[in-house]
């Protein structure tokens, strides 16, 4: 074989990639190109659907409507509530900070007002803007519990066990003494046993919280029809994060104040 023949044979492999590249370019050119506005619309629809699913099943944003949960949560704080904790038959536990729907007459007209501009209202519907019209309180008693206010140190007791709440709660003052249950106007009351399917809740700012204690029938009241209990079906979920302002970003207070409380007899 002459040198010319060898050169001619060697030229074939060099030509093959050129043909392959041409075929690839033709295939790419044949693919339809989606306009940018369609891609944006598809991504927007996916984002909205994900937000709806998250709100319905997992996480929802709320804001603190009043000073009732100070010092831990301040008015207008933004919080995230997770719903997984109460799946599968699980229920609220003592010490949980929960968000729940108004049981009826707990909120005033100003408290139920949500966002006032169309964009915020739309975002609220899909869970991307904090919702209003709900209450945020701490569970201090579950079904079967009996709560007594208060001992010589101003502490409430659950099933006979005094609860030390100074790490997260702000007491009121009655007769110049601290009291962690003063919304009734006195530091001596008893409630319970708490009915099945309900909880008893209190705000951490005990002197400024329209909570279960405000809706109790006190000793000596006649023809009282008030109901201090919150149905567990009304509970949206458990607060697990404070997300705004960023200077106080963080999780829950992690209180273990109720760990030694025995189950109701």
> Catalytic residues, which ones?
68, 137
Instruction: Classify each residue of 133-170 as buried b or exposed e, where b means 16 or more C-beta atoms within 10 Å of its C-beta.
Output: ebbbbbbbbbbebbbbbbeeebbbbbbeebbebeebbb
- Residues 6 or more apart whose CB falls under 8 angstroms from that of 6 comprise none
- Residues 6 or more apart whose CB falls under 8 angstroms from that of 120 comprise 114, 129
Q: Using CA atoms of 201, 202, 203, 209 in order, give the dihedral in degrees to the nearest 10.
A: 110
- In degrees, to the nearest 5, what angle opens at C-alpha 15 toward C-alphas 14 and 19? 135
CB of 214 within 8 A of CB of 183? yes
């Amino acid at each position: 074989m002459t040198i010319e023949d060898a050169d001619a044979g060697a030229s074939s492999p060099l030509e093959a990639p050129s043909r392959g590249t041409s075929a690839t370019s033709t295939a790419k050119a044949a693919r339809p190109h989606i306009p940018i506005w369609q891609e944006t619309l598809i991504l927007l629809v996916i984002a909205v659907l994900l937000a709806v699913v998250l709100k319905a099943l997992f996480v929802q944003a709320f804001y603190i409507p009043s000073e009732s949960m100070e010092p831990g949560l301040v008015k207008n704080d933004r919080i995230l509530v997770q719903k997984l904790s109460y799946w599968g038959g699980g229920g609220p536990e003592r010490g949980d900070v929960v968000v729940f729907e108004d049981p009826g007459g707990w909120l005033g007209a100003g408290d139920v007002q949500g966002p006032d501009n169309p964009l915020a209202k739309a975002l609220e519907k899909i869970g991307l803007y904090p919702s209003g019209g709900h209450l945020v309180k701490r569970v201090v008693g579950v079904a079967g519990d009996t709560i007594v206010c208060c001992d010589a140190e101003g502490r409430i007791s659950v099933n006979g066990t005094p609860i030390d709440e100074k790490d997260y709660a702000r007491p009121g003052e009655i007769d110049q003494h601290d009291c962690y249950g003063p919304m009734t106007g006195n530091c001596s009351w008893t409630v319970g046993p708490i009915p099945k399917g309900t909880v008893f809740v209190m705000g951490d700012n005990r002197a400024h919280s329209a909570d279960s204690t405000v809706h109790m029938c006190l000793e000596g009241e006649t023809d009282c029809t008030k109901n201090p209990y919150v149905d567990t079906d009304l509970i949206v979920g458990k607060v697990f994060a404070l997300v705004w302002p960023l200077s106080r970003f963080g999780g829950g207070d992690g209180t273990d104040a109720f760990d030694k409380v025995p189950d109701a007899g």
